[in-house]
């Protein structure tokens, strides 16, 4: 039981961190609360199903193709729907929720409401210290962890990362210093959607696909970013691990835990909002110390 909690906690924590970091990035750089963020996660899962199962493309082609298509959709959606209303928070919320619903309906029209499955990229198991872990889990955990490390390096060690952090600190000052804050927002949106789409294609073989699969991760992501501090990358990562292990513990140890995990996430979110609204690490995307 403990080994199952450890394995599933790490796996879920890494995936939730991918989604939460992407959510925090676009909020930090453009002050956009993107409620359609996990819809891109869903789209990438269905694209890997379409390319890999329906068209029978090799995973080495289907996976990057799915990510590229979803990122292109994300950037297009940003230019057409989000950028014109970026300065109006309520309008952004309405637009992004509407977009998520549109994506959901498009999936229903294209694939129906049936549950879908994606074949594992790699089969088999390994049993270190008696803990049985599938190679697919290990591959997913490895790819997701590597992606998070790359994003951290980009944010901390590159000019683009410096520009994103400067824009998150103060967009007006960044603009006065000659930074193109509009382009920075687009680049950040592309990174955010890339993280969501990588998570989607990697967990597709582990999840059951359905047109409503974006809702549950959205609730968890909101709870994570509020727990960690909206806009904090470090907070998103730590909050994802905390909430993932709480969720897995509830599922494995409480009767009916699978039905209670979202309620637990919402309860944690409400408690943090009441006790410490800024979260564990504040509300700004700052240089991580």
Please give the C-alpha separations between residue 60 and each of 40, 47, 67, in angstroms, as whole numbers: 20, 14, 12
Q: Is 113 helix (H, G, I), strand (E, B) or coil?
A: coil
Distance, CA of 260 to CA of 264 (rounded, Å): 6
Considering the domain boundaries, does residue 77 fall inside one? yes
* Cβ 19 vs Cβ 37: under 8 Å: yes
* Cβ 164 vs Cβ 155: under 8 Å: yes
Return the ∠ at Cα 79 (arms to 37 and 182), rounded to 5°.
100
Please give the C-alpha separations between residue 202 and each of 6, 69, 102, 120, 261, in angstroms, as whole numbers: 19, 15, 23, 10, 22
pLDDT on residue 137: 87
Q: For residue 209, what are the β-bridge partners? A: 116
Return the ∠ at Cα 62 (arms to 59 and 65), rounded to 5°.
145
Distance, CA of 45 to CA of 57 (rounded, Å): 15
pLDDT on residue 69: 97
Distance, CA of 287 to CA of 78 (rounded, Å): 26
Considering the domain boundaries, does residue 13 fall inside one? yes
Distance, CA of 97 to CA of 104 (rounded, Å): 11
pLDDT on residue 1: 65
Considering the domain boundaries, does residue 253 fall inside one? no
What are the φ and ψ backbone dihedral angles of 133, each rounded to 5 degrees?
-130, 130
Considering the domain boundaries, does residue 237 fall inside one? no
Q: What are the residue ranges in the chain where pLDDT is below 50? A: 283-289
Residue of 170, 268, 180 lying closest to 226 (CA atoms): 268
Residues 6+ apart with CB under 8 A from 112: none
Considering the domain boundaries, does residue 196 fall inside one? yes
Report the domain count for the chain. Answer: 1
Distance, CA of 269 to CA of 253 (rounded, Å): 21
pLDDT on residue 15: 92
Considering the domain boundaries, does residue 267 fall inside one? no
Considering the domain boundaries, does residue 286 fall inside one? no
The parent domain of residue 7 ranges over 2-211
pLDDT on residue 262: 80
Distance, CA of 198 to CA of 26 (rounded, Å): 16
Residue of 9, 39, 5 lying closest to 22 (CA atoms): 39
Residues 6+ apart with CB under 8 A from 181: 167, 171, 174, 175
Considering the domain boundaries, does residue 249 fall inside one? no
Polymer length in residues for the chain: 289
């Amino acid at each position: 039981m403990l080994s199952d909690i450890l394995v599933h906690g790490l796996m879920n924590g890494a995936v939730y961190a991918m989604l939460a970091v992407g959510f925090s990035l676009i909020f930090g750089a453009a002050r956009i609360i993107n409620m359609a963020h996990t819809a891109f996660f869903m789209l990438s899962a269905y694209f890997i199903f379409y390319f890999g199962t329906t068209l029978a493309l090799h995973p080495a082609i289907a996976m990057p193709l799915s990510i590229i298509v979803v990122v292109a959709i994300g950037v297009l959606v940003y230019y057409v729907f989000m950028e014109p209303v970026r300065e109006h928070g309520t309008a952004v919320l309405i637009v992004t929720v509407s977009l998520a619903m549109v994506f959901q309906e498009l999936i229903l029209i294209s694939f129906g409401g049936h549950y879908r499955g994606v074949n594992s990229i790699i089969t088999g198991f390994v049993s270190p210290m008696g803990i049985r872990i599938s190679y697919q889990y290990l591959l997913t955990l490895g790819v997701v962890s590597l992606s998070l490390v790359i994003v951290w390096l980009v944010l901390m060690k590159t000019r683009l990362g410096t520009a994103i952090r400067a824009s998150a600190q103060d967009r007006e000052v960044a603009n006065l210093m000659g930074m193109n804050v509009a382009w920075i927002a687009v680049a950040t949106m592309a990174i955010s959607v890339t993280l969501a789409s990588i998570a989607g294609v990697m967990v597709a073989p582990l999840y059951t696909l359905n047109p409503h699969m974006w809702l549950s991760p959205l609730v968890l992501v909101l709870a994570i970013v509020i727990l960690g501090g909206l806009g904090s990358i470090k907070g998103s990562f730590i909050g994802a691990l905390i909430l993932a292990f709480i969720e897995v513990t509830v599922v494995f140890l409480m009767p009916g835990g699978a039905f209670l995990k979202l309620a637990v996430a919402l309860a944690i979110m409400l408690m943090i909002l009441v006790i410490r609204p800024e979260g564990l690490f504040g509300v700004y995307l700052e240089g991580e110390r």
